[in-house]
């Protein structure tokens, strides 16, 4: 299985458990690995036969704008579920970082994997 990568995608959203966090937009930084077979797209040079990273990136930005959650865990789970359902992604790894959440750390976050990554 091949991987389509989206790295360091910045997404603005309302996220956080503290009252002050609920009043502003914060930036999350996402890295995604999306399993797919790129051979059909490569053979025909046809974007319709692969995962369109531009369209997926735009969908992620809309997701961030349309939702607000307290936990990064909830954001990650709901986003991955939506992407898998809407784009037919068999396996996905998402690393989500929230910069500035802990003053002594450059970022905090979660990494999740969902689905089955088959070898072909």
User: Strand, coil or helix: what is 13?
Assistant: strand
Beta strand pairing status for 2-15 and 68-69?
parallel
The backbone region for 45, taken as left when phi is positive above 0, alpha when psi lies in -120 to 50, beta otherwise, is: left
Q: Is 10 a catalytic residue?
A: no
Closest to 92 (Cα-Cα) out of 12, 9, 1: 1
Q: In what side-by-side order are the strands of the sheet with 26-36?
A: 68-69, 2-15, 26-36, 91-99, 107-115
Select which of 69, 79, 80, 98 is catalytic.
98
Q: Are 28 and 98 in contact (CB under 8 A)?
A: yes
Annotated catalytic sites, by residue?
A: 98
């Amino acid at each position: 299985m091949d991987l389509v990568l989206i790295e360091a995608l910045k997404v603005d959203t309302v996220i956080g458990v503290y009252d002050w966090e609920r009043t502003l937009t914060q930036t999350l930084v996402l890295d995604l690995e999306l399993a797919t077979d790129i051979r059909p797209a490569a053979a025909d040079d046809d974007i319709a036969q692969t995962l369109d990273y531009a369209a997926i990136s735009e969908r992620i930005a809309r997701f961030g704008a349309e939702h607000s959650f307290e936990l990064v865990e909830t954001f990650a789970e709901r986003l991955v579920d939506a992407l898998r359902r809407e784009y037919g992604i068999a396996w996905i790894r998402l690393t989500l970082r929230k910069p500035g959440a802990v003053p002594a750390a450059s970022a905090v976050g979660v990494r999740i994997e969902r689905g089955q990554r088959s070898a072909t």
